[in-house]
Amino acid sequence: METRRQIEVTTDKPLHVVGLDTVRAFAALSVMFAHILGPGLPDIFTMLGFNNAIAGLSKYLFTGHPAVIVFFVVSGFCIHYPYTRRQLPVLAFTLARWTRIMIPALIAMLFAQLLGMHKYNFIDGFILWSIVCELWYYSLYPLLLVLSRKVSFENQFIVAFAISLIIVIYLGSDQYGNAKNYGVGLNWFVALPSWLLGCVLANRVAQQSNRMPVNIRQIVMWRASVAVVASILYWLTLNTFIGYYLTMNFFAVLVVFWINAEIRAKKDKTSLFEKIGKWSYSIYLFHIIIFSSLGLLFAAASPFGRLLTLPLALIGCYVAYKLFEEKSHQLARYIFKKIDSKSGWNI
């Protein structure tokens, strides 16, 4: 069993932890629904006969930024978990991670530019702001890993959380409370505590020999709790001074408990959401591009046009996964194995 485990780790294909893809699926679909369906929900609810109060609140059902925080926590877990019990091949790891994330992102940006979506880039930050953060985390992870042998990831989280809070209180944010407005030099640090919580969780899961199972009722409770809190934070962001930039790293703590429950729950890795989670990155990158493309063919921005767009966008995202993301993963694993066999730079 241990030999098989070691072989799996050396392929740069993270140890498959059942439950994580389910979390990814919910996060990616939340972003997609928030961008495509969210703006049309009040009109849809009004047409269905709901009163104005419920229709007005419906736009808070799906959230984008909290879902990105979920991705950050999952990322920290997936990056660190394989290296809780083995050395990190720094060069192979870094090049492989950049390869697997950048190829789909660059292709998505190219399509966006062709469609005139000029804000879809690494500087202005639409969608891609979080990818820049991930690149920072991948590049700094070797340093953070070495540091963790003296300063635990728990203590790194505490320090990063305090500094992040100071930064956002001092610099503030826009009227929507967005946490992505600090530029490529600071965005990553504002969200770093959330990513470090993923590393903390990875250590704890790796140390658990016997995990108490979680039943479906508890899973539903955690999912509902995260969804409700995310919607409340969305409302606070748009209607009060308490914006995302103040709440997201607190929200990440709740996300950690949810992810831990998903990991402990009994589920089949062939379940629907586990399957969708495998191409969640393509959903995240390409949904808005496909939505804009469909808008050239019909009134996709109308309330029911948005409903029609959802299944078409999902199909398009899956095609993008097969054409671009899956190939980038294969190339990343090839690069990892080639460099890992030659480079002795392990920490």
**Each residue's pLDDT tens digit, 32-73:** 999 999 888 998 888 888 888 888 899 999 999 999 999 999
Can you give the C-alpha Rg of the chain in angstroms?
20
Amino acid occupying residue 327: K
- 268: confidence class by pLDDT, cuts 50, 70, 90: confident
Please compute the mean of the pLDDT values over residues 250-255 and round it to a whole number: 97
Q: Is the pLDDT of residue 9 over 50?
A: no
- 265: confidence class by pLDDT, cuts 50, 70, 90: confident
Q: What angle do CA 78, 67, 73 make, to 5 degrees?
A: 25
On the 0-12 / 13-18 / 19+ scale of CB atoms within 10 A, 294 is: buried
Q: Mention every residue, 6+ apart, whose C-beta is less than 8 A from residue 166.
A: none
- Please give the structure tokens belonging to residue 44: 């849809």
- Please give the structure tokens belonging to residue 189: 């640090």
Closest by CA to 130, choosing from 113, 108, 115, is 108
